[in-house]
Amino acid sequence: MLSIGIDIGGTKLSAGVVDPQGRILSKTTVATPSTDPQQVEDTICAVVADLGTDLPITAVGVGAAGWIDAEHSLVRFSPHLAWRNEPLQQRLQARLPVPVLVDNDANAAAWAEYRFGAGCDSRVMVMITLGTGIGGAMVVNGSLFRGRYGMAGEFGHMTVVPDGHRCPCGNRGCWEQYSSGNSLLREARAILEAGGPRAETLLDHVKDRDPAQLTGPGITDAALAGNQVAVELLAQMGTWLGRGLANVAAAVDPDTFVIGGGVSGAGDLVLAPAVHTFGTQLAGRGFRPPATIVLAGLRHDAGMVGAADLARHSLAEPPGPGRAFWPRLRRRRRRRTLRLGREAARD
């Protein structure tokens, strides 16, 4: 059973055909048309048509960067995309010939890492995706934890600096304003605007030495090439990452943090300072087992693979409120059987 997984981020849309073992048979990446919901929908349909040619596709899974309701139908809000109470699942289902599942992109990535990647042996796994912002998700005892309204895991919008930088979510000082692709670019641009020798060394790694051409991947490439300014920028982001992880650990107590998303491509340049800071900030340190912090095994493909696998599983067990119906029915039947047994014993 082949399915298509689509991972929609703030800047790019990745899609691929995935088999039941989590292997990607083919994939593509295009820019996300973030200012127009209709264009996003058109892009998804075009990608599915292109990837699904001559293949027996059974389902399509979409991992969207936003708050998805418990019924997997509405994208309630997306800080980095133009969705506001968008009935994405319904609209895509009307245009695509196979069942469509819509879920949060971090949920999809977490599921992939639990099923096929770095979180396979975890009992309580927290996924943190570092991209345009910060996404988060939890897999607890083999199940995605979605919360009552389907919106759990939005750790990126914890306030870490009161009255700090303004966030697209409407608040100030959110964690993602200090440890994400956007925060990395903001700090790098501030260095360029200040000028001086440090700015000059960073400009050497920018196309045409044009500050407008500066990108997050470009900063990572500069750091990997040994540019000290870029290395310091990534270390600063990693320090903020570690602080946020310590806050999450105080509330959730996971055994594993899996770090994914585009920015995680910097590897130890971000992870090492995060692990160090986590160790110095963790509440009760020295008297509790610390969580393991690892990079995503599937790296940039986790969201795509997870969305495809969730869509495939939904064919057997539909998402949303119906998921809770069958356990309730079984409990009712057990209670009825016990009651009839007691009445028969009295007779």
| CATH number of the domain that residue 244 is part of | 3.30.420.40
For residue 342, the model assigns a pLDDT of 63
Same domain for 62 and 189, yes or no, is no
Look at the chain and report how many structural domains it folds into: 2
Of 8-12, 49-53, 59-63, 271-275, give the lowest mean pLDDT range: 8-12
- Count of Cβ atoms closer than 10 Å to residue 59 Cβ: 23
Same domain for 126 and 194, yes or no, is yes
Q: What does the pLDDT look like over 274-324, one tens digit per residue?
A: 999 999 999 999 999 999 999 999 988 999 999 999 999 998 876 554 344
Domain boundaries, position 259: 121-296
Q: Which two tokens stand for residue 49?
A: 């048509």
High-pLDDT (> 90) share of the chain, %: 70
For residue 333, the model assigns a pLDDT of 44
Same domain for 253 and 173, yes or no, is yes
Same domain for 221 and 259, yes or no, is yes
Average pLDDT of every residue of the chain: 89
Confidence label for 346 from pLDDT (cuts 50, 70 and 90) = low
Same domain for 277 and 242, yes or no, is yes
- What integer is the mean pLDDT of 170-178? 96
What is the phi-psi region of residue 42: left when phi exceeds 0, alpha when psi lies from -120 to 50, beta otherwise?
Answer: alpha
Interacting residues of 175 by C-beta distance below 8 A, sequence separation 6+: 134, 155, 156, 157, 158, 159, 160, 240, 244, 247
For residue 212, the model assigns a pLDDT of 86
- What integer is the mean pLDDT of 17-37? 91
Name the strands in the sheet holding 124-130, side by side, starting at the edge strand that comes first in the sequence: 143-145, 134-140, 124-130, 256-260, 292-295
For residue 132, the model assigns a pLDDT of 86
Alpha helices for 129-267 (secondary structure H): 181-194, 197-203, 216-224, 228-252
Same domain for 290 and 306, yes or no, is no
Cα 256 versus chain centre, distance:
15
Rounded CA-CA distance 237/90 in Å is 38
Whether 230 shows a pLDDT value over 90: the answer reads: yes
Cβ–Cβ < 8 Å for 51, 43: no
Of 55-59, 66-70, 185-189, 274-278, give the lowest mean pLDDT range: 66-70
| Residue 61 in domain | yes
For residue 341, the model assigns a pLDDT of 59
- What integer is the mean pLDDT of 148-165? 93
Whether 96 shows a pLDDT value over 90: the answer reads: yes
Query: What's this model's pTM, rounded to 2 decimal places?
Result: 0.84
For residue 58, the model assigns a pLDDT of 96
Whether 167 shows a pLDDT value over 90: the answer reads: yes
Q: Reduced to 3 DSSP states, what percent helix, strand and coil does the chain have, rounded to the nearest 5?
A: 45, 20, 30
Same domain for 137 and 252, yes or no, is yes
Same domain for 136 and 239, yes or no, is yes
| Residue 97 in domain | yes
Cβ–Cβ < 8 Å for 5, 306: yes
For residue 330, the model assigns a pLDDT of 44
Phi and psi at residue 14, in whole multiples of 5°?
Answer: -110, 140
Name the strands in the sheet holding 12-18, side by side, starting at the edge strand that comes first in the sequence: 24-31, 12-18, 2-8, 57-64, 100-104
| Residue 330 in domain | no
Q: Which two tokens stand for residue 43?
A: 């892009």
